[in-house]
Each structure stands twice: as C-alpha cells, then as structure tokens.
Homo-oligomer: A and B are copies of this chain.
C-alpha cells in the first residue's frame, strides 16, 4: 500500500472547501447531479450541508452555456484575485489547516492561447490590475493559489497555469503544480490501447472517438469554444504514444477524430464509443470497437483525492514546479518548455512508482529478471 510506503496525510485530517457559481451546498449539488444514490447521500447529508461554496470568480465570455448568481462582481481582476487570497487565508485559519492544496474542478473554458500578458509575472499582475480580457478566471485562481504558497492542479484542459508567468512563479516560490485535464474515461482507455498496439507494431489507419453525456460538463462542451479546448487535449495523446516520425508506415496517416455530444437522457453516466481501424501483417485491416459505459464523477473523484495527497507530499519533499511524475492523472501533462509529455499510462505509472521508490531510497524497478538465465 502506498500509504504505508510514503508518509501521506491522513484521510481524517482533510477538510474540504471551494467556490461555485451556484450557491447550493455540496448536499444540494449532489442531489441535483443524481450521480450518487439518494439513500447513500442521506447518510452524509450533514457533512455535505456544511460545505457551502464561496462566491466564485466567473466570466461568461470564458464559459458560454452556464451562469449562476454566486459570483464576485466587484473591482478589477486583481481585486478578485485578492478576494480569493482572502478566502484561502480565512479558510486556512477557520479550519486550522497546517497545509493546503487547490484543485481546479470547474468547467472547461473556451480555447485561448498564451499571449503577451502571460509571459512574465510582472505583465500578468499588470494585466490583473487592468482586467486584461486574456486572463481567464481559472488563471486568477491559479495565481491566488500560488501567491498563498498552495500547490495547484488543473483538472480541466484550460490553459490556466500553463503559462510562463505562473510556471516561473511556482518554481520561484518552490510550489508543486500539475495538470491538465483529468484522464478518466475514453482517453484513459485510449492510453491503454495505443501503447499495446504500438508494442505489437500494429498500424493504425483511423481512430474515431465519440461520447454522449448529459451532465453540466456535456452542456458546457456543447459550446464550440469550450469543445475546442477539450478537443486539443483529447487529440494530443496519440501522436506522442505512436511516434509517427519513427514509424511512418504504421502511423503517419492516422486519421483521428474526437466528438462530444450533449445528450441529456444520460446525465452523468457518460458513454464513450471508439472505433479503431488497425492493420497488421501485409496491411490486412482489422477493427476494434470499445464501448465504455462509465460515470464521469465516479472516475474523477478518486483522482482529485490522490492529487491532493501527492501534491502535499511533493511539497513536503521539496519537489517544486511541474510534477511530471503525476502525468499518470492527466490527458495533457504539463511539461517543461521544449520537452514532450508522456502519455503511455504504463510508463506514467512506472514513473510514479519509481519516483516514490526514489523518495524512499529504494532500488528502481526494471523488470529485468536475469535470475532466469543464471
């Protein structure tokens, strides 16, 4: 058990808090989401009722399909950042927290790329003061988190902390960060299957992935701008795994398409359907179809908890900046400039395990097994 191997925080010591554009308590939000069984929810009703969201930083321009009343409206973006910092410090004090971790679990923002305002901390802070439209709400959260010395993870595909200004802030302040976009359903499966096809040198001619889901995530992603952000991270995984530059005959012409369809009858019980057109020896075509009847939140929730524990561990271990060993949890792992992300989930897992072994000073796993040939 990992918890016996490295000194993780105790579950009983955790306290939860957050921001939301809707004023519903965690209990009310869970009842509306219809993911958890009502009988089960009743058992933790009191604990959930106690989690009342703080007013959120929100901009309609960044998330088109939803709106809510529980938002901070006053002042510049810097004023909002400072309000968040105050929220954080007040939460820390009220709950008597020794350490904090922040995880972005909000909606996918519309696609935007790094611009001038994102280059240096100075430019970024100037942008906050002038309410620069290029600064997204999620970036205000990341800034506030880092200013408070709190490790930050991004569970959505937004640009957020993946900009020079915030990456250098994290590094200078020696704060661990990681992201982007939790790898839970279809992309999780994709990063299992693709390494396997590559291992056997099976070619891939096409990969078509479609999803139906009916929760708020599906609603937000029905907006082309938000979908574009998501599409980028969902499309990115195959190239790095399959290495078409090394195996052009097998992977150069791969046609990869990803679709997300808002389909209310399903609620949060997302279904991902993939068709993979592969070819084997002599080019003979074969097909793999995968139908994944999953549950978005059930798959994502444990990842959030793992990240809280591991980011906290990383900070105590003095591991600052980008936590590449936590790539295991993300569709689009943030990397240092000029490096490429690792997407193969088995390499990611070995990275994670060997990093934990290295922290403890243990021998690393290589699976050599030479004892067979003595």
Query: Which residues of A are in contact with B by a Cβ distance under 8 Å?
Result: 36, 38-40, 188-189, 192-193, 195-196, 199-201, 205-206, 208, 210, 212, 255, 257, 259, 261, 263-266, 271, 273, 275, 277, 280-282, 284, 286-295, 298-299, 301-302, 319-325, 328, 336, 342, 345-347, 349-351, 354-355, 358, 364-370, 372-373
Contacts and interface: CB of A to CB of B under 8 A. Distances in A.
Contacts of A288: 189, 290-293
7 contacts: A192-B196, A193-B193, A210-B259, A266-B277, A288-B292, A355-B368, A358-B370
A10 to B, nearest CB: 19
B255 A195 contact: no
Contacts of A38: 39
A324 B374 CA distance: 12
B282 A36 contact: yes
A336 B212 CA distance: 37
A97 B299 CA distance: 54
Contacts of A271: 275
A259 B259 contact: yes
Nearest to A299: B280
A107 B370 CA distance: 32
Interface centre among A188, A196, A355 (most CB of B within 10 A): A196
A367 B351 contact: yes
Contacts of A336: 372
Contacts of A346: 195-196, 199, 346
Identical chains in the assembly: 4
A129 to B, nearest CB: 33
Contacts of A195: 192, 346
A355 to B, nearest CB: 7
A295 B298 CA distance: 24
Contacts of A292: 286-289
A286 B281 contact: no
Given A263-B208, A290-B289, A298 B275 contact: no
A78 to B, nearest CB: 31
A338 to B, nearest CB: 12
Contacts of A369: 324-325, 351
Given A255-B264, A284-B295, A355-B368, 15 more contacts: A189-B196, A192-B192, A199-B346, A208-B263, A210-B261, A255-B265, A280-B299, A284-B298, A286-B293, A289-B293, A319-B373, A325-B372, A336-B372, A358-B368, A365-B366
A30 to B, nearest CB: 12
Contacts of A367: 342, 347, 350-351, 354
Nearest to A286: B294
Nearest to A293: B287
A93 B290 CA distance: 51
A359 to B, nearest CB: 11
